[in-house]
Structure 1
Amino acid sequence: MATGSNEPKSRYLQYLEMVTGSLEDKRRYRQYKARIKQLPEDYRTAVEAMERYLMHFGPADGAGAMAMYEDLADLFERSAADGTPIRDIFGEDPVEFVEAFMANYPIGQYRARERNRFTSAISRAAGEDTARDDRTDR
């Protein structure tokens, strides 16, 4: 059923991916989950909590999200191997950590752009001078 990288996809596979999403992304997600399952319990608990947060607030794009999850697995695999304490990974503010983590992925950067656009619009509405006019970002 799988095709080689140089082989064109059959109409069936094209239709299937149109309905279900990328089969490659699904394979990568299963591999990610298998990697997370191998972590020590406390690291796995932390990753699963971060994953839940990212599912709600992170990139929704399949390929972008998978790159982020794979990097997350890399981070926690290295941290577990080095014996890095969980709190040393996240710091005092886990939300700040996860927001900074998400900002490294292009699909997630739209949130920062929209936050800036929103803040500028409110400043303009309040009659405050803004140094940057975000209306040109559209």
Structure 2
Amino acid sequence: MSIQDIIEGKKQWRAHVARVEALPRDYRIVYKEMQKYLLKVGPVDLPDGPLLPGIVTFFEEGVAAGKGVLELIGTDVAAFCDDLVKDSPTYADLYQQSLHGEPGAAEK
């Protein structure tokens, strides 16, 4: 990874944070809770993947439609997040594999 890649990554992250901060307060609160949850149990490719920017886009569309955040995702934030990552390998999956000593788990 070169210095240019690091700088570009920081620019993209700052732009992402600015989009989150532009959301209404209730959306920001839910987004931050989702982010915390996904960082604990989310997909392995979360930092570089499209999931977090996709959530912000989904929320921006909800704001534009005049909907409340709970109208979009429901009252169970964790269940909504679990549904988003149901087909993605997660850190929890890797941890479970390492506990059970499955072949190749140590290599991941």
Q: Do structure 1's residue 78 and structure 2's residue 57 form an aligned pair? A: no
More helix by share: 1
2:74 counterpart residue number: 91
* Residue type of the alignment partner of 1:87: L
1:34 counterpart residue number: 18
**Do 1:58 and 1:102's aligned partners in 2 also have CA atoms closer than 8 Å?**
yes
Looking at CA atoms only, which structure, 1 or 2, has the larger radius of gyration? Answer: 1
Q: Do structure 1's residue 111 and structure 2's residue 94 form an aligned pair? A: no
* Aligned-pair CA distance for 1:47: 1.0
Pick one of 41, 56, 63 that aligns with 2:48. Answer: 63
| Structure possessing the higher relative contact order (Cα contacts under 8 Å, 6 or more residues apart) | 2
How large is the Cα RMSD of the aligned pairs? 3.2
**Secondary structure of residue in 1 paired with 2:67:** coil
**Do 2:44 and 2:90's aligned partners in 1 also have CA atoms closer than 8 Å?**
no
Show structure 2 runs of 5+ residues with no match. 104-108
**Do 1:32 and 1:70's aligned partners in 2 also have CA atoms closer than 8 Å?**
yes
Distance 1:59 1:28, change over 3 A: farther
* Aligned-pair CA distance for 1:102: 2.4
* Aligned-pair CA distance for 1:52: 1.4
TM-score by length of 1: 0.57
